[in-house]
Amino acid sequence: MLITHEPYNTLMYKLYEKSGKPDLKWLLTESLKIHYKLYYNPKSLTHGELEILNKIYRIAVSYVDVAIGQFIEILQKELNLDEVLVFITSDNGTLLGEHNLVFRGTIPYEQLIHVPLIVYYPGEKICLCIDKLVSLIDLMPMILTVANKMLSCNPIEILLDLASKIERRVTFTETVGSKMVFSCRTKKMKYILMIDENGTLHEKLYDLEADPRESKNLASHEGDLCKHFRKYVIKHIREVLHQRHVLMLKEKLKYIAKKLSTLNSYY
């Protein structure tokens, strides 16, 4: 697994060791200073320090890009690539100053949840972008379906057929901890429901077509629309609890049940 998020100091040291470039040594030093500052006073970051973080992040992404190329070269030497399908994706993105936040937050802004999914099949030169709502939970069934059929069919054709059948109207995200954060996203709108440590409910609503940067919260102006999305989220929460009750600790279940009672008072 390759990662492109904080802390970057290990990666920067590794790259500096290999190249010995002075600018990488400077970035390594600055990375350590910025991480120390983030830990003790994150709101004091300057614009210049955010620029440095952006530069380090781009270096990290380039490093991953090179590593993926090296991995595919190894596959070419060791395996028959006609029987190999490569999927490249991520669990989450990162924030580098957007929404006045840095790194991974609990609020599911697009920079965090809109992750890449790249499929590579040697010999095929189809370059296609599929503009549909999908979720990471679609990935495993898709891989298993392709793996089951790829010996008798062209895997790219199978993927394109599967993609044509994906018709999600909404996708969900969830973060369960001291705060609970759920989101419901359509192609046009995103609704975010947060319950803080005190059980207080907070809502955000964004028009992604008119406001792709998610800078204008419409929740206080669109009460009926919020209520509509809230119903979807509450239904999803109950389904998630039902599906995962065996995996969750008893204390966590009690905690979530208590939060759900808060939701019901708004429903």
Q: Convert the pLDDT of each residue in 94-120 to its tens digit.
A: 888 888 888 777 889 999 998 888 887
Q: In which band, very low, low, confident or very high, does the pLDDT at 206 lie, cut at 50, 70 and 90? A: very high
Please give the CATH topology (third level) of the domain spanning 169-267.
Arylsulfatase, C-terminal domain (3.30.1120)
Give the closest residue to 190 by CA, choosing from 169, 208, 213.
208
Question: Any idea where the domains of the chain sit in the sequence?
Answer: 169-267
pLDDT tens string 145-194: 887 877 677 777 777 777 777 777 889 988 877 788 899 999 999 999 98
Is 267 exposed, middle or buried, given 0-12, 13-18 or 19+ CB atoms closer than 10 A? Answer: exposed
Which region holds residue 181: left if phi is over 0, alpha if psi is between -120 and 50, else beta? beta
- pLDDT at residue 233 in the model: 87
Residues 6+ apart with CB under 8 A from 187: 133, 208
Of 58, 8, 16, whose CA–CA distance to 33 is shortest?
8
Q: Is the pLDDT of residue 24 over 80?
A: no
Q: Which two tokens stand for residue 67?
A: 């590593």
pLDDT of 249 strictly over 70: no
CA 253 to chain centre: 25
Q: What is the pLDDT of residue 255?
A: 65
More confident residue, 9 or 73: 73
Instruction: Report the pLDDT value the prediction gives residue 246, as an integer from 0 to 100.
Output: 46
CB 6, CB 101: distance < 8 Å: no
% of the chain exceeding 70 in pLDDT: 76
Which residue do the tokens 């004091």 mark? 44
What are the two backbone dihedrals, phi and then psi, of residue 113, each rounded to the nearest 5 degrees?
-105, -15
